[in-house]
Amino acid sequence: MYLSTIRFLSFSSLLFLLGACGSLPDLTEFDKVPAKPGEVAQNPYFSEGDEKVFKADISIYKNEFTGIFVHRKMNDTIHRIALLSEFGKTLFDLSYSRNFSKLNYSIPELDRSYIITILADDFRLLTISGGKVGERYESTETEVLKTAIEKGFVYYYFKKESQDLIKLTKTSAKKEKVNIYFTNFKNKLPETIQIVHSGINLTIVLNAIPQAYVD
């Protein structure tokens, strides 16, 4: 709801307080195998033109607020997201690509708020893929593709049998930063996406809103 967003923002300065950061992903149960030449890791869930609407539950340092998250991949490179209150009021509207972002609108309380930067980075991780695979790991059920990004790595976890992407992990050179979990699959698409930060107490749970109501 709109007002709980304002309360949430009063804690935005706390985002810089670091909790315990995770170490790099534990791959001891995986075997390192040769990477396939030219292989690129792709997130299959956000295609060009698709419009996705989620009920969002965001919790940070024991404060909760909810809203509606909307995403559309506008073209090859540009994505656009908006956060709405349940009453429909647009709280912010942001365009982004791999290397840039532009705030199209925000309510005054969110203007220059660090939370928009964090949410933009989370959605960039969630929706923009295509990194070149540098290392590959496999277990009996799962394969892991490791890609390099600026100042860190992104690991893609796929279920071998279904080829469903079930997890993304973003790390710095030495520590886990964000884990994204994909669950409750329906027609090969995750109904639930959970974004969990390691360095700050921030969790975002997105539940897909039934298509019948994206009219």
Partner 1 sequence: MHIIKHIILILSLVPVASTAQNSSMDSEEINQFQEEIAQKAGSTNTIKGEFVQKKQLAFLQNEIQSSGRFFYASPDKIKWSYLQPYSYEVIFRNHKLFIDNEGEQSSIDIGNNELFGKLNQLIINSINGKMLQNKNFETTYEQNAEFVVAKLLPTDPVVLKLFREIILTFDKTTYEIHRVMLVEPAGDDTQIFFTKLKTNVPIDDSVFEF
Q: Does residue 184 interact with partner 1 by CB under 8 A?
A: no
The minimum distance between CB 183 and partner 1, in angstroms, equals: 17
Q: Does residue 183 interact with partner 1 by CB under 8 A?
A: no
Distance of CA 33 to the CA centre of its chain: 27
Q: How far apart are CA 121 and CA 177, in angstroms?
A: 11
For 163, the token pair is 């080829």
CB atoms within 10 A of CB 142: 16
Pick between residue 79 and residue 146 the one whose CB is nearest to partner 1.
79
In terms of DSSP bridges, do strands 63-73 and 79-84 run parallel, antiparallel, or are they unpaired? Answer: antiparallel
Here's the x/- map for partner 1, 55-94, by CB under 8 A: it reads as x-x------x-x-x-x-x-x-----x-x-x-xxxxx--x-
Here's the x/- map for partner 1, 89-118, by CB under 8 A: it reads as xx--x----------xx-xxx---------
The minimum distance between CB 56 and partner 1, in angstroms, equals: 11
Q: Which helix (H) or strand (E) holds 167?
A: strand 165-171
Identify the three-state secondary structure at position 84. strand
Pick between residue 57 and residue 121 the one whose CB is nearest to partner 1.
57
Residue range at the interface with partner 1 (CB under 8 A); choices 35-43, 48-56, 119-127, 169-177: 48-56
Q: Does residue 209 interact with partner 1 by CB under 8 A?
A: yes
Distance of CA 15 to the CA centre of its chain: 17
Q: Does residue 210 interact with partner 1 by CB under 8 A?
A: yes
Residue range at the interface with partner 1 (CB under 8 A); choices 22-30, 35-43, 50-58, 179-187: 50-58
Identify the three-state secondary structure at position 40. strand
Residue partners of 84: CB distance under 8 A and separation at least 6: 67, 68, 69, 70, 90, 91
Q: How far apart are CA 90 and CA 80, in angstroms?
A: 13
Q: Does residue 196 interact with partner 1 by CB under 8 A?
A: no
* Phi then psi dihedrals of residue 140, to 5 deg: -65, -30
The residues binding partner 1 (CB under 8 A) are 1-4, 6-7, 51, 53, 55, 57, 64, 66, 68, 70, 72, 74, 80, 82, 84, 86-90, 93, 104-105, 107-109, 207, 209-210, 212-215
